[in-house]
Structure 1
Amino acid sequence: MLKWHLYKGMTVPDELAIQALEISLMENICNTAGAVIDGYPVTYSQVSILEARSIIPMIIFELDVPSKEIFKRLLLEKNKGPSLPYPLHNSAQIIAVRNSSYNKNVDEIKQYYEKQHQNWYVIDGFHSKWWVWNEVIKKIHMVNSYIQKYLERIKAGKAAHIDKLCITPEELASRLGEFGQFCPVSLAESYELIDCSETESLEFAAEFRGHYYKMSSQEKLNKFLENPELYVPPLAPHPLPSANMMPKKLTLSELKSRFPKCAELQGYCPVTYQDGKQRYEALVPGNINYALEYRDHIYICESREKLEKFLRFPLKYWDQKLPHKLPPLKEPVPLTSLPLPGYLEQGMATSLIKAMNAAGSIKPKFPFLSVRRSVLLFIAFHLKAFNPKGSEYSRKKYKRKMELFLERCELITYLSAKMTKKYKEPQFRAIDFDHKLQTFVSLRNIDPANE
C-alpha cells in the first residue's frame, strides 16, 4: 500500500504511515536498539494519531537551521542524490511549501510535547553534521542513563528519579502519593508546606512504591532517594493537613466575596509582625493583592514574599494578638475634603486660572443670559476644551462649542454698533446686519449648555 502511493507520486496518508510505523516498531531490532523517526510528526493531527496509538518518542530533537541554509542543502542533495524508481517531492516550490507548513505548525507541536512529556530539545543545526551528531549522542546518553538508573532502582525496591521518562501531567496526577504535590521532605523536617504544583517540571520528582512525589530542590530530592521510608507513611512524622486546614491564596474577587468578613490583625501583615518580634514598629499594613485564607480567617500580607512565607509556615503566623496601642491609620486624604483653596491648588488650579484669565480678557456676554451665567458657561467650555486628560475628540468638540459661544456673544457688540435710532431701509443697512439680527432674536429660547 505504501509503494502504491509512492510510485504514483502521492503523499502517504497519515493513518497508513503510522500503521506501517507501528508494525516496524514491533520488530526485535526496534525493541532493542530503538528507532529514529525523521521529520515526523509535522502537524498536530499526526501528533494526535501517534498519541492515540501510544507511540511516544523518548526524545525529540529540533534542528534549528535558517530557511536559506535549508534550501541550499536540499538543492545539493537533489543534485547529488541517487535516482529512485518513484518521483520525489523535492522541487523548489514544494520545498518552500513544506518549510512554510513546518514553521506554521512546529510551535504548537513543540508546546504539546514540552507540556505533556518534557522531551523536546533544540540543537543548533547550522554546525557541521559531526557536531550535530555529537550533541544528539550526548542527549541520548543522558536520557538512557536516566532510564537505566530508574529501572535498576525500581527493580531493587528503591526510590527512583522520574525525570526524562515522558510522564504526562495526567499520569502524574493519577499516581501522586499521600502528600499530593507538596514536598514530603520539607514537611517532615520542618513542617514546611512547599507546594511544587507551580512548576510542571519533574526535575525533583521521584517514584517510590508505585507513587510519585515532588520535592522542592535537589538537596531534598537526594535525601528522599537515600531514605524514602523516613518521609512517607508510616514513618513520616507529619501527615499532610486536610484541605480545609490548608492556607489558600485569595484573588481580589474572592476577597470581595468574603464580605462582610474582616481581615485578622486589622489588616496588618502577620508575617512582618511575627518576624519583627511583635514590636510596635513591625505593624505594617498588608496589601489586598496578597490575601489568603486559613482556618476560615482572612490574612493580608505586605508582599508576595511574605505571602509565600505564610503559606509555607501557617502555624507560625496565624494565631497572633495585636498590642493595645496601634499606630495611627495612614489613610490617603480625599482631595475633595481639602478646603476650597487647597482643593483648587492641588486639583485644577492651573487650568482654572487660564480659563478665568481668558474670561477676564474676553468678558463674554451671551444674548438673553446674565453676565454670571455667561462667564460660567465660558469657563466650563474652556476647561473641557483644554482638558489634558480628555480625549482628542472631546477637546475638539468643546473648542468648536466655545468658538460658537464667543461668536454669538459678539452679536451684542456688533448690533449695538450698527443699529441706529432712525429706521434704515434694507438697502442702506450692512450686508450681514439682517442675518445677525435674526440670529440674535432666535437665541432667546436657546440654552447653550444643552444645545
Structure 2
Amino acid sequence: MDGLKSKWYIWECLIKEISISMEYIHTYLRKTRSEFQRQIGEFGHYCPVCLALQNHLVDCSETASLMYAAEYNRRYFKMCSTQHLESFLASPDQFVSPLCPRPLPEADLLPKKLTEAEVRNRFPQQIEMKGFCPVTYLDGKERYEALVHGSMEFAVEYRERLYTCETKQKQYKFLSAPEVYWDLKLPSKVPPLCEPIPLTSLPTLGYLEQVRNTPNSQMNCSISAHGCQSKLFFFLPTAFNHSSTEHIRQMYKKKLASFEENCALIPYLSSLMRADYKLPSELPVDFDFKMKKFLALRDSPKAKSANLA
C-alpha cells in the first residue's frame, strides 16, 4: 500500500483487502462443510473410535468445527477428541469396515434427543418407566431410593419409546449406551407422582381449603381481619362482592368504614380508662365525643337485635 496516502485512504484499503480475504475463508469453509456432508463416511457424525473401543454412540453433530475430522479412502470421519483423532490417524483400518468390530446401528435404532415441545407433540404416547430416569435407576443398582423422576428438558427417544432423564449427564449416558437402559422393569412399589396440581382444578371445598392454608393468601388475610374486627357487627357484609352493583357496593363500603371506626373505640377507650383517675383536662379532646358514641351503640336497634340473637 502507498504509505504516502492519508491514513483514511490506507484504512479503507485495509478494510477492503480484509473483507476479500474473509470472503475467501467463508467460501472455503462453506465448500468444505458441503464436501464433508457429501463424502461423509459410514459412521456419519458418530465417533468411530468410541464405537469400536467402548461400544458408545457419541454424536458429534452438535460440534460445527471440523477440528477432529479426518479423511480416509476419500471418506470423511469425525472424532470427539484429539486423542481419538490421533488413534484414528495411527491405524484407521481398525475403525472402519470391514475390520471395525461394531458397525453403526440402523437409523431407526439410533437414539436422539427430544425437546419438551416434541415430547408434548407425541401425546397421547406415554413416557416409559412412568417418567422415572432409567440411568439413575440402573446406576443406583435398581434400588427403591434410585427411583427419581426425569425432566422433560432431558428427554430422549429410542426404539420409538420416550424416556426422561434426571440431568444432562444422565441424558448423555443414555444416548451413549441406550441398549443398557432402554428395557428396565420397575418394581411393584414406586414413589408417588409429584406433579403440581392447579388449584383451580380442585373441587370448591378443596380449593377453599388449600387457599385458606396458604400463608399470607388474600383469603387468609381477609378472614383474619374479619375475625379481628367482627366483635360488634359480625353480620356486616364485606362490601367487596363483585356480583353486586356499584351502588350497593359503595353503600356497604360506607357501612364497613363506620363499622371499623366503631370497632376502634374499644381499644381506644380501654387505653385511657385505667385504674388511676385522670382529670378531664388530662384526657384527649375527643374523649367525651368517642365515649358518647360508644354508649350510643348500646342503645342502637342493631345492637339490641344482636343481643336478642
Q: What's the TM-score, normalizing by structure 2?
A: 0.65
Tell me: CA distance 1:306–1:278, structure 2 relative to 1, closer, same or farther (3 Å): same
| Alignment deviations for residues 75-129 of structure 1 (CA, whole Å, 9 cap, x no partner) | xx4xxx3xxxxxx6x475x668x49x959x96x986x7776646xxxxxxxxxxx
Alpha-carbon offset, residue 257 of structure 1: 2.0
Distance 1:199 1:115, change over 3 A: farther
Structure 1 residue 348 displacement after superposition: 5.8
Does the alignment pair 1:230 with 2:94? yes
Q: Which runs of 5+ in 1 are unaligned?
A: 1-37, 39-73, 82-87, 119-165, 362-370, 381-400, 411-451
1:264 to 111, 120, 128: 128
Q: How does 1:184-333 map to 2 (within 5 A)?
A: 184-332=48-196
| SS at structure 1 position matched to 2:96 | coil
Separation (CA, whole Å) in 2 of partners of 1:325 and 1:409:
57
> Equivalent pairs: percent with the same residue?
39
Give the SS at the match of 1:168.
helix
Q: Is the 8 A contact 1:169 1:200 kept in 2?
A: no
C-alpha distance in structure 1 between counterparts of 2:26 and 2:115, whole Å:
26
The one of 357, 376, 396 aligned to 2:241: 376
Higher relative contact order (CA 8 A, sep 6+): 2
| SS of 1:198 mapped into structure 2 | coil
Alpha-carbon spacing, 1:190–1:116, altered in 2? closer, same or farther (3 Å): farther
- 1:376-401 Cα offsets, whole Å, 9 max, x none, are 249x9xxxxxxxxxxxxxxxxxxxx9
- CA–CA distance in structure 1, aligned partners of residues 24 and 215 of structure 2: 56
Q: Tell me if the contact between 1:115 and 1:200 (Cα under 8 Å) persists in the aligned partners.
A: no
What is residue 221 of structure 2 aligned with on the other side?
Answer: 353
SS at match of 2:70: strand
Name the SS of the counterpart of 2:157 in structure 1: strand
CA contact (8 A) 1:301 1:307 kept: yes
Shift of 1:353: 3.3
Look up the equivalent residue of 1:301 and give its one-letter code: C
Question: Counterparts in 2 of 1:54-65, with a 5 A limit?
Answer: none
1:220-256 alpha-carbon deviations (Å, 9 max, x no partner) = 1111111110010110111111111111111222212
Residue type of the alignment partner of 2:137: Y
Cα deviation, residue 374, structure 1: 4.1
SS of the equivalent of 2:50 reads helix
Runs (5+) with no aligned partner, structure 2: 230-235, 255-309
SS at match of 2:217: helix
- Which one-letter code corresponds to 1:257 in the other structure? N
